[in-house]
A and B are shown apart, each in its own frame.
Chain A
Amino acid sequence: MAAPDKPSKLVKGASGDWEVVIGMEVHAQVASHAKLFSGASTEFGGAPNAHVSLVDAAMPGMLPVINAECVRQAVRTGLGLNAKINFKSVFDRKNYFYPDLPQGYQISQYKSPVVGEGEVAVDMPHGETIKIGIERLHLEQDAGKLLHDRHPSMSYVDLNRSGVALMEIVSKPDLRSSDEAKAYMSKLRTIMRYLGTCDGDMEKGSLRADVNVSVRRPGAPLGTRCEIKNVNSIRFVGQAVDYEVRRQIKILEDGGKIEQETRLFDSDKGETRAMRNKEEAHDYRYFPDPDLLPLEFDAAYVEYLKSGLPELPDEKKVRFTRDFGLSAYDADVLVSERALADYFEAVAKGRDAKAAANWVINELTGRLNKEGKDFAASPVSTAQLGAVLDLIGEGVISGKIAKDVFEIVWNEGGDPRAIVEARGLKQVTDVGAIEKMVDDIIAKNPDKVEQAKANEKLLGWFVGQVMKASGGKANPQTVNELLKKKLKA
């Protein structure tokens, strides 16, 4: 099979092509009840400073004690990224002064992260699979939140997020376009949601990215990069990269130089801007945190976690295409969310898998999206959708009537089989009854009959008329056969 056309990843400038190089640091909030080093809650949206312990507020003499669950989740994520797990890692202090950081330092991992190099496979829409290298994953504390709009001269500080565990996942500079950056971030999100290590809820800030962008002539050494901080949605990652690439190309083509700097993305204006204070290059003065011993575990622990991992999207996709005969595209859509894949499997079990995939992807997902619901809240259960498919398979209802039944089940609930029975939606398979309808239509349209003899395409018009006359209940195959026979005569 010929490979599908691969769209060029190069960006056209006024003076020729440019290659884009992107590396990402994704900050994912660890799914845990308590914070990384204290017993305060990680719950979103508490009253100001309600989820804060004396440790999180950095009161003198308080000592951090690590939450074992956060370590477990970081290791599981590392395994999901096919990465090397380090049996010994070290927590360091990253020192900087800002009101959202009461300790004056963030506890992070610098030289010895808990997870080392790995690799993620990302499927692109045009059929290509790209491999993105993972540089490392480390555990660190989140900072507090500042509100600037409540007072003309004061900022409000809420430390509820302060100390919540984050996994920083650093990629290698392997991404070559905004589409790849978006697809990579969404793949990370999918993997972590399968693992249950991060809920991936962007609206609550559970997943944010720092995006490093540079451009170069194809084959040339790396250009100077700019880091766009704290981009909080996959869509914004795409917009920020596209804007930044254009900006850098323009500067270079006008004979300028890229300044290495930190920028922010303004989602209202769709642009990136230099952050102030850039003249003060950050000097974090990292050193090992004397309050914490190295984090150590053994191979048995990692093996134990590995044996408990769920089937991940890549494996599931292979299984769906192999065992169910699904197309790569359908399999991709279905494995994008674990709940969706589970739903599909329940419906497909013992049934026509391709039909199940069609119904789950087109009818159900379409309907759920329209109403902004997710699979957990689907009004149509797997058993109900399965029953609709059974009714089609048995020839009791046509595909068209099945959509009506689906609609009734969606709105009113109930057993599809009983609904079909009670509302007289059964397909008419009685050849005599259908023949009568066919004869009726033929008798009423002598001119069309003449045309149909010359032009076979008019057959479709007759099928439509008969189906309409039967209220959609006539078996379409029988109608077709009868018409073919009679119009030829």
Chain B
Amino acid sequence: MSVDAHTVRQIAHLARIAVADDEVERLQGEINAVLAFVEQLQEVNVDGVEPMTSVTPMKLKQRGDVVTDGGIADDIVKNAPATEDNFFLVPKVVE
């Protein structure tokens, strides 16, 4: 499996990362190198092997239904380029 230049641009767009035209070829090569490595891994027979989700024998940690956080709107918006009344302001998006 490999990706073409169009797919590279598409992935960059979905992630909202600006990729200049002269960068596409290099990125395409890097992504295809990763994919080639994955292809090698796929040669290993993993029949009957459970997908490993953690390297330590841990269970998903859960917490109780208690409100322990929030009330920090000033902090939440502190780094935002534009705010008003503790709202974030972003360039208008209407669908």
Binding site for B on A (CB under 8 A): 32-34, 38-41, 47-55, 57, 65-71, 90, 95-99, 104, 146-148, 150-159, 264, 275-277, 283, 285, 288, 292-296
Within 8 Å CB of B58, what residues of A?
Answer: 293
- B67 adjacent to chain A (CB < 8 Å): yes
- B64 adjacent to chain A (CB < 8 Å): yes
Residue from B54, B61, B88 in contact with A65 in the complex, judged by beta carbons closer than 8 Å: B61
A61 to chain B, nearest CB (A): 14
- B72 adjacent to chain A (CB < 8 Å): yes
The answer to whether B70 touches A51, judged by C-beta atoms less than 8 angstroms apart, is yes
Within 8 Å CB of B75, what residues of A?
Answer: 54
Residue from B60, B62, B82 in contact with A294 in the complex, judged by beta carbons closer than 8 Å: B60
- B6 adjacent to chain A (CB < 8 Å): no
The answer to whether B93 touches A66, judged by C-beta atoms less than 8 angstroms apart, is no
Measured between alpha carbons, how far is A275 from B76 in the docked complex, in Å?
A: 31
Within 8 Å CB of A55, what residues of B?
Answer: 69
Q: What 1/0 mask marks residues of chain B from 52 to 75 whose CB sits below 8 Å from any chain A CB? A: 011000111111111111111101
The answer to whether B63 touches A154, judged by C-beta atoms less than 8 angstroms apart, is no
Residue from A50, A99, A153, A158 in contact with B71 in the complex, judged by beta carbons closer than 8 Å: A50
A155 in contact with B62 given A50-B73, A288-B53 (CB within 8 Å): no
The answer to whether B60 touches A292, judged by C-beta atoms less than 8 angstroms apart, is yes
Measured between alpha carbons, how far is A264 from B95 in the docked complex, in Å?
A: 10
The answer to whether A34 touches B66, judged by C-beta atoms less than 8 angstroms apart, is yes
Closest 10 CB pairs of A and B: A69-B65, A39-B68, A53-B69, A39-B69, A40-B70, A157-B88, A49-B73, A156-B87, A293-B60, A68-B62
The answer to whether B88 touches A53, judged by C-beta atoms less than 8 angstroms apart, is no
Give me 8 A-to-B residue pairs in the complex whose CB atoms sit less than 8 angstroms apart, sorted by A's number.
A38-B69, A53-B70, A99-B93, A151-B89, A154-B92, A156-B89, A288-B53, A293-B53
The answer to whether B67 touches A34, judged by C-beta atoms less than 8 angstroms apart, is yes
- B86 adjacent to chain A (CB < 8 Å): yes
- B41 adjacent to chain A (CB < 8 Å): no
A39 in contact with B62 given A98-B93, A155-B94 (CB within 8 Å): no
The answer to whether A49 touches B76, judged by C-beta atoms less than 8 angstroms apart, is yes
Measured between alpha carbons, how far is A69 from B84 in the docked complex, in Å?
A: 34
Main secondary structure of the interface of A (DSSP, over half): loop
Within 8 Å CB of B62, what residues of A?
Answer: 65-68, 71
Residue from B53, B66, B76 in contact with A39 in the complex, judged by beta carbons closer than 8 Å: B66
The answer to whether B69 touches A293, judged by C-beta atoms less than 8 angstroms apart, is no
- B91 adjacent to chain A (CB < 8 Å): yes
Main secondary structure of the interface of B (DSSP, over half): loop
Binding site for A on B (CB under 8 A): 10, 14-16, 53-54, 58-73, 75-77, 82, 84-95
A155 in contact with B15 given A39-B68, A52-B70, A69-B65 (CB within 8 Å): no
Within 8 Å CB of A152, what residues of B?
Answer: 92
The answer to whether B53 touches A294, judged by C-beta atoms less than 8 angstroms apart, is yes
Within 8 Å CB of B15, what residues of A?
Answer: 95, 97, 104
Within 8 Å CB of A283, what residues of B?
Answer: 10, 14
Of B10, B65, B66, B69, the most chain A CB neighbours within 10 A belong to B65
A154 in contact with B89 given A283-B14, A294-B60 (CB within 8 Å): yes
Measured between alpha carbons, how far is A156 from B65 in the docked complex, in Å?
A: 29
The answer to whether A155 touches B61, judged by C-beta atoms less than 8 angstroms apart, is no
The answer to whether A48 touches B87, judged by C-beta atoms less than 8 angstroms apart, is yes
The answer to whether A158 touches B65, judged by C-beta atoms less than 8 angstroms apart, is no
The answer to whether A97 touches B14, judged by C-beta atoms less than 8 angstroms apart, is yes
B83 to chain A, nearest CB (A): 9
Within 8 Å CB of B91, what residues of A?
Answer: 153-155
Within 8 Å CB of A293, what residues of B?
Answer: 53-54, 58-61
Measured between alpha carbons, how far is A276 from B94 in the docked complex, in Å?
A: 9
Within 8 Å CB of B71, what residues of A?
Answer: 50-51
The answer to whether A157 touches B64, judged by C-beta atoms less than 8 angstroms apart, is no
Within 8 Å CB of A53, what residues of B?
Answer: 69-70, 72
CB-based nearest B residue for A289 = B53
* Given A47-B86, A54-B75, 9 additional A-B pairs, CB 8 A: A39-B68, A40-B69, A49-B86, A69-B64, A146-B93, A152-B92, A276-B95, A277-B95, A292-B60
Within 8 Å CB of B16, what residues of A?
Answer: 97
The answer to whether A95 touches B14, judged by C-beta atoms less than 8 angstroms apart, is yes
Of B58, B67, B90, the most chain A CB neighbours within 10 A belong to B67
B8 to chain A, nearest CB (A): 14
